Amino acid sequence: MLTGTNLVYTKKYNLRIVHEVIRVHGPLSRADVARHTQLSVQTVSNLVKELLSLRLVQEGGRRSEGRGAPSTELTINPDGAHAIGLDLDRDHLTGVLVDLAGQVRQRMHMEVETPSPAEVVDLMCGMVETMATRQGLGVGDLAGLGVGVPGPMRRDEQGTGYLVNPKAFPGWHDIPLAGRLRERLDTPVYLENNALAAAVGERWYGAGRQVGTFFYIYVGSGLGGGLIMNGQPYEGFTGNAGEIGYLPTVLSGDASTPATEDAPHVGLHFNMPRLYERLRRGGTEVGTLEELDQLFAKSHPGMLAWMDDAADHLTALVLAIEYVLDPEAICFGGRLSDRILAGLMDRVAQLLPTRRPHGKVSVPRHLVATAGVDAGALGVATLPIYEIFAPAPRLLLKDRRGGAHGGSGLRRSARSL
């Protein structure tokens, strides 16, 4: 169904556009903002006045622009909003508290081992309250809480997310984690696949700030992916776009394997517990990502063999991404060390020319994610801020139910520009 818009929705969208331009390109004068947005100087001045009153931008120094009085520069006010992100996987729970500029103000990390839903809710609530208190905030002062979990997921008609048959979390099927956290905490909660959340974080704060369309390959305890298309996260019809780890293995004759739930798929090769076991069978005791980094630094034969195999699988995935999505860039990130990621990227770069058909017109850039091992936590911390401040085109659509703007994708916030 097609819907129209009105001046209320247009103003909200323009307010976010101005905020976004200052965030990405600042410091800027009001005239600079008008040139970037193609809005009139008077419109920009009115919108900036509102952003200043909300303490979301701040005035800084003055600079001369030829004739006339010097102009005042505008920048994002880092203390204009704060959000918390919690990244949960089978072996860890990591939390960060970030400001509006994306700076990590607080960080907590704990090792866990397949915890129960009740245990996770208690741990998460404690972590949120501790980080907020350390920052001098109440939980109700936060823009919201983002929670990242491995996929796949499903959403009900209200947008509430649930894990679906997560092998990493026995007993978690259809657990309403976000709902239980909302019952305990006075703040909006956003549940998202950690790979897509990492892509949003990279778009908002990292290497993807100037890239409109890119695919994020996320290596955590397994393999996932997230797609940013024309500056917006793309979730797909069921919210599970980018689950590249479930693609069937097509190397070494695996394509003939019957298509059961246990059929070989790419993600199995990037399953960290399986890698630890592989190295142990070779006589090397290992159980953490830090130990993997040390093995790679020492050119451990078993680790290098895994790197070569991993690059083989990644090269096939990269080619599929290139031809199906045609992105401007492919970003590599996750919980592996920067050193290991760089090693994988080097190997993929060497293999790609031998695998591509001749005559390909252009190839996407390869980027290293900037968030490091906290990519998942920083990504989900971005979700509340993204929901409140990002200039998503859906803001221009009137909600058919008669309320504020709706739409699928990242869930709506109780607070919004």
Any idea which of 213-227, 273-287, 367-381 has the lowest mean pLDDT?
Answer: 367-381
Do 222 and 342 fall into the same domain? yes
Do 274 and 321 fall into the same domain? yes
Residue scoring higher pLDDT (161 or 217): 217
Give the end of a domain, one of 46, 61, 76.
76
Residue 336 lies inside a defined structural domain of this protein: yes
Please tell me the total count of domains within the chain. 3
pLDDT band of residue 411 (cuts 50, 70, 90) is very low
- The pLDDT value recorded for residue 128 is 97
- The pLDDT value recorded for residue 406 is 33
Any idea which of 1-15, 19-33, 344-358 has the lowest mean pLDDT?
Answer: 1-15
pLDDT band of residue 64 (cuts 50, 70, 90) is low
In this predicted structure, the answer to whether residue 250 has a pLDDT above a threshold of 70 is no
Phi first, then psi, for residue 394 (nearest 5°) are -65, -15
Residue 160 lies inside a defined structural domain of this protein: yes
Token pair, residue 290, equals 């830090």
Q: How far apart are CA 309 and CA 119, in angstroms?
A: 37
Do 260 and 388 fall into the same domain? no
Averaged pLDDT score across all residues of the chain: 84
Q: How far apart are CA 229 and CA 17, in angstroms?
A: 17
Do 107 and 151 fall into the same domain? yes
Helices (H), 326-402: 338-355, 375-389
Do 211 and 158 fall into the same domain? no
- DSSP string covering 183-212, please? HHSSS-EEEEEHHHHHHHHHHHHSTTTT-S
Q: How far apart are CA 245 and CA 223, in angstroms?
A: 5
Do 170 and 116 fall into the same domain? yes
Which pLDDT tens digit goes with each residue over 70-94?
Answer: 788 999 999 999 999 999 987 889 9
pLDDT band of residue 413 (cuts 50, 70, 90) is very low
In this predicted structure, the answer to whether residue 202 has a pLDDT above a threshold of 60 is yes
Q: How far apart are CA 412 and CA 395, in angstroms?
A: 11
Domain with 37 in it: what CATH number? 1.10.10.10
Q: How far apart are CA 331 and CA 298, in angstroms?
A: 26
How confident is the model over 201-221, as a mean pLDDT? Answer: 89
Do 363 and 304 fall into the same domain? yes
Tell me, rounded to whole angstroms, the distance of Cα 196 from its chain centroid.
5
In this predicted structure, the answer to whether residue 138 has a pLDDT above a threshold of 70 is yes
**DSSP code at position 394:** G
User: Which residues, listed in sequence order, are joined to residue 265 by a DSSP beta bridge?
Assistant: 248
- The pLDDT value recorded for residue 402 is 37
- The pLDDT value recorded for residue 113 is 81
In this predicted structure, the answer to whether residue 401 has a pLDDT above a threshold of 50 is no
The boundaries of the domain holding residue 303 are 207-369
The one-letter amino acid at 398:
K
In this predicted structure, the answer to whether residue 158 has a pLDDT above a threshold of 70 is no
Give the end of a domain, one of 354, 369, 384.
369
Which pLDDT tens digit goes with each residue over 1-10?
Answer: 444 456 677 8
Percent of the chain with pLDDT over 70: 85
Domain with 381 in it: what CATH number? 3.30.420.40
Residue 298 lies inside a defined structural domain of this protein: yes
- The pLDDT value recorded for residue 44 is 92
Which pLDDT tens digit goes with each residue over 37-47?
Answer: 999 999 999 99
In this predicted structure, the answer to whether residue 265 has a pLDDT above a threshold of 80 is yes
Which pLDDT tens digit goes with each residue over 306-336?
Answer: 999 999 999 999 999 999 999 999 999 988 8
In this predicted structure, the answer to whether residue 209 has a pLDDT above a threshold of 70 is yes
Which pLDDT tens digit goes with each residue over 124-135?
Answer: 999 999 999 999
How confident is the model over 129-153, as a mean pLDDT? Answer: 92
In this predicted structure, the answer to whether residue 33 has a pLDDT above a threshold of 60 is yes
In this predicted structure, the answer to whether residue 221 has a pLDDT above a threshold of 80 is no
The one-letter amino acid at 98:
V
- The pLDDT value recorded for residue 410 is 35
Tell me, rounded to whole angstroms, the distance of Cα 251 from its chain centroid.
29
Percent of the chain with pLDDT over 90: 48
Do 360 and 388 fall into the same domain? no
Q: How far apart are CA 63 and CA 81, in angstroms?
A: 27
- The pLDDT value recorded for residue 76 is 92
- The pLDDT value recorded for residue 229 is 93
Token pair, residue 364, equals 């996407």
- The pLDDT value recorded for residue 394 is 65
Residue scoring higher pLDDT (138 or 248): 138
Do 236 and 354 fall into the same domain? yes
Do 302 and 380 fall into the same domain? no
Q: Structure pTM? A: 0.82
How confident is the model over 207-219, as a mean pLDDT? Answer: 91
In this predicted structure, the answer to whether residue 165 has a pLDDT above a threshold of 70 is no
- The pLDDT value recorded for residue 261 is 53
